[in-house]
Structure 1
């Protein structure tokens, strides 16, 4: 096994060599296997939906007798180099793939190795390139059907049921953060606040939408913490944490999958369910179908093995209450450069409308 102290992580496509990839494999406890690599594309911050991390796409040739079952098309997910703010996200996603992904029978990318370096705050995740399996990566500018949303809810139900109210969160999974505890929580609840306020103050459309719901940035921030405190007293499970439509994919036949696990943690299941329904469907479709989709999810949660899942009324209340995170952290944090104007505006419009439709403000004030 390679010494983690000896590796210097790639920051662009030029650093993706067989030697580097074999070092990464060794640190992750796997054997050397790479003989040649052919870099096809390097995507940096602000390029082609690249938000919190950069990506290098490449094909691989394996050493004789070492490539059985390994994909030829790969993606290396690496750190943004413009700041160190994202480091907790990088560490968390590497921990997910190294420590939890092997236990989960869900549709999500398979990892060939990953490592986070706390000294440089750089990381690398070696993942299958999902395009080799025909994956399509949707966004809010296209029409997504309710059957496609149900497929994503199938995966969430399996994920949530796997560690449903598990004693392991007080044992070997104690390292998994929550919405109030851990480095990711500090980043989202505190460190991100000035960035969010900057977006509110300097992007006119965000200022207008926040004004429409009648909350200031600071009031939204305080309400998020109140909601998290409340929901931590309810059912707990492993959550993806960032289930907007852009972090999902569909395989041929519309089987849904989940990407980008940087915000993974322990939380209430409605955090995930509310976010995918509210970003995945048009406003009109959400209004018609969200309750039946929630009922569908609860059926699947029980089928996946969750003991004593909450009833519809309790989940409906928390689904509605969770919209405040979707508005504040979900998209007010997101600069336009990350996804472009249309996607950014559409997500805000869908989420703020859901906040208003579902009387989220009142439900949050009830617990403050």
Structure 2
């Protein structure tokens, strides 16, 4: 069984609606295909958070899987539906929902547990903007999950990616939001209590997925072997897929001994959105984790800014981050010098996990290449190789 806030999924009525010749109490997987999202399915999903809501009709607006970069789809499928509600219980619920479900053929991955947990347990208290969640369910017995989120396009949100010009001011806004997020959970004792499900970077199912030879390393090896631009960018910084993995692990072990906080975990510019008033929020929390702050800050700065602008503004942005961290109440904030050093180490994960893992069909050629160029160039500019070699050498003593 899966549990949501300690309640068995059985009690959440995640069941078949009556079909002739079938037991109406037979459990079913959360659907993967748009045509299967009928009134009953959507109502059951919403009732995981709003048990009194009635859904009268549902129509599919659009859906996205792999679209050569047009709709930014990777490990989950997105199905957008228009919903008509009945009764007063649903008067303030969004009428257009984007429902995230498992990606067909990907299998049962721990990223799904992670994101459902974030929206189920933390979304209402996070001090940063996130899409409103109106339903969340995870059923490991069927390798499925569902997240019903407001469709931000209704609010005229824009979704930048590495091809979108983003100036230092826009990045500064998100850096400030990260500082507020990190400050809220800085060294919190809740990691030993109600947030014990938040995994560190050095152990747990997601760590195993990223380090086991049959998991992400196998995918990275395949990408580096078969995509010439990835292979030559790795070679250009004096690394191999294998040595980069070693350095990611060394950096994360080192940073695990530093102050930890709640991380977004996958904070590239493509996982952000901007509203017409200029406010920016964070999407896609599948890699949320307990770790060191520069994991988020470094990935954002490197992917959001052009090479020229990163070289110009990254030191200022790191200084600004620390300033906002202290303003938010962190009394033991690392020095600017330490943050800059950890920025050099964090570049390994950004380069290796960030985009070497990503097949071209997920985001398209140009987004993939542009991210890889920015990440490899930052790794070289920051002389991350030397810094990480030193960490490895110290760890072997």
Q: Give the TM-score, by structure 1 length.
A: 0.96
The aligned residue for residue 306 of structure 2 is 282
Q: Are 2:61 and 1:40 aligned?
A: yes
1:27 match: secondary structure: coil
Q: Are 2:87 and 1:64 aligned?
A: yes
Q: Are 2:12 and 1:2 aligned?
A: yes
**What is the aligned residue count?**
367
Q: Are 2:355 and 1:331 aligned?
A: yes
Q: Are 2:34 and 1:13 aligned?
A: yes
1:102 match: secondary structure: coil
The aligned residue for residue 30 of structure 1 is 51
Alignment of 1:75-114 (within 5 A): 75-84=98-107, 87-114=109-136
Residue deviations 1:24-44 (CA, integer Å, cap 9, x gap): 233346333321112110112
Q: Is the 8 A contact 2:74 2:363 kept in 1?
A: yes
Distance 2:261 2:164 in 1: 31
Q: Are 2:182 and 1:160 aligned?
A: yes
Q: Is the 8 A contact 1:39 1:59 kept in 2?
A: yes
Q: Is the 8 A contact 1:136 1:250 kept in 2?
A: yes
The aligned residue for residue 149 of structure 2 is 127
Larger radius of gyration: 2
Q: Are 2:229 and 1:208 aligned?
A: no
Q: Is the 8 A contact 1:93 1:263 kept in 2?
A: yes
| Structure 1 residue 4: Cα displacement | 4.6
Segments of structure 1 that go 5 or more residues without pairing to the other structure are: none
Residue deviations 1:139-166 (CA, integer Å, cap 9, x gap): 1112101111111112211211111011
The Cα RMSD (Å) is 1.4
**More displaced, 36-45 or 92-101?**
36-45
Give the alignment partner of residue 201 of structure 2, picking from 172, 179, 198. Answer: 179
Distance 1:217 1:127 in 2: 36
Q: Are 2:138 and 1:116 aligned?
A: yes
Segments of structure 2 that go 5 or more residues without pairing to the other structure are: 1-10, 16-26, 393-397
Q: Is the 8 A contact 2:66 2:363 kept in 1?
A: no
Distance 1:325 1:304 in 2: 27
Distance 2:343 2:86 in 1: 50
**More displaced, 115-124 or 350-359?**
115-124
Deviation >4 Å, runs of 4+? none
Distance 2:126 2:270 in 1: 21
| Structure 1 residue 98: Cα displacement | 0.3
2:136 match: secondary structure: strand
